[in-house]
Amino acid sequence: MIETLWPGISEWLFGEKAFGVVRALILVVAGLVLGKLTSASVTRLASRQLSQHHLILLRRLVFYTIAGLFVVSALRELGFKLSVLLGAAGILTVAVGVASQTSASNIISGLFLLGERPFSVGDVIKIGATTGEVISIDLLSVKLRTFDNLFVRIPNETLIKSEVTTLTKYPIRRLDLPVGVAYREDITRVNEVLLRIADNNMLSLDEPAPMVYFKGFGESSIDLQLSVWVSRKNFLELKNGIQLEIKEAFDKEGIEIPFPHRTLYTGSQTDPLPIKLSSDDKNSPL
């Protein structure tokens, strides 16, 4: 039995087919290594001209192009005909395109995002109720990492159709703080106190200068707005700190921050509501 099978085994191990398989494996490994080295070199050279997400796409494009060429060469070493492979790839492409219209829409939307560049990798964006840092921009979707360390994948088609706010587009931001004071307060004095708080805060920028806006007459308060400009990286720190400073300054200056008041009216034809007085004396019958 062994003597009968040995010619076939020896031909497979030491014949032309075996050397073809070895050459194909060498081509695949060489393609992967060369693709990785070339893509790293190209992205290093283009790092000053392109943004981060463009560098990621360029690296992938170079890698997969070089690796694909070597894989095709390896298939030819194994005896596959290139014309047959191209025909099969064309049929497969048509079938996949018909079956995945949503993916095609996402790819087209991804190309629009790459051309428009409303945000880059590392930016913080807000879309709907989701806010997070962009960690990847691909042809099908954008990946975000939220501030509570969750991974969110948003299809490109959704981004094109929705309102996207880039929170880190500019180096400075404006913080708008609503402030309500009692109707009996002197508004000029309140404005002076608020501006003094903003001027004394180390994180508040002098230019553009802080401002106080009169928003209107509320149900229980006069509504104001303190607008302060701050560096993007200090936004949250200023937002937390300056509100505590406003509360402490208002308490020190005797400025009342009112709470909602309600008046009960039972109509002119009804009896007054009964009122019961309480006393600090526990032995009092009242």
Q: Which two three-digit tokens encode residue 124?
A: 């913080």
For 117-166, CATH gives 2.30.30.60
| Model confidence pLDDT, tens digit, residues 68-108 | 877 877 777 777 666 655 565 565 565 555 545 566 677 77
CA distances 110 to 120, 136, 154, Å, are 13, 12, 11
Return the percentage of the chain with pLDDT > 90, whole number: 35
Residues of the chain with CATH 1.10.287.1260: 13-99
**Which range (18-32, 194-208, 211-225, 226-240) has the least confidence?**
18-32
- In the numeric block, the tokens 């560049």 are attached to 117
User: In CATH, what class is 172-253?
Assistant: alpha beta
Tell me the DSSP string of 222-281.
EEEEEEEEEEGGGHHHHHHHHHHHHHHHHHHHT-------------TTSPPPP-----S-
Q: Which two three-digit tokens encode residue 82?
A: 């290139």
pLDDT for 282 beyond 60: no
pLDDT for residue 261: 65
CA distances 230 to 166, 198, 266, Å, are 16, 11, 50
Residues of the chain with CATH 3.30.70.100: 172-253
CATH 1.10.287.3510 for domain 13-99, yes or no, is no
For the chain, what is the mean pLDDT? 79
d(CA 11, CA 20): 12
CA distances 243 to 92, 181, 249, Å, are 61, 14, 10
Evaluate if pTM is beyond 0.75: no
d(CA 234, CA 242): 12
pLDDT for residue 47: 74
CA distances 5 to 8, 124, 239, Å, are 6, 66, 81
With cut-offs at 50, 70 and 90, classify the pLDDT of residue 217.
very high
pLDDT for residue 280: 56
pLDDT for residue 6: 45
pLDDT for 194 beyond 80: yes
pLDDT for residue 63: 81
pLDDT for 158 beyond 70: yes
Residues of the chain with CATH 2.30.30.60: 117-166
With cut-offs at 50, 70 and 90, classify the pLDDT of residue 9.
very low
For residues 252-259, give the mean pLDDT.
Answer: 90
Q: Is 134 within 8 Å of 122 (Cβ atoms)? A: yes
Give the residue, 253 or 29, on which the prediction is more confident.
253
pLDDT for 144 beyond 90: yes
| Model confidence pLDDT, tens digit, residues 256-270 | 998 776 666 666 665
| Model confidence pLDDT, tens digit, residues 57-73 | 677 778 888 888 778 77
| Model confidence pLDDT, tens digit, residues 218-237 | 888 999 999 999 999 899 89
pLDDT for 255 beyond 50: yes
pLDDT for residue 271: 64
pLDDT for residue 13: 47
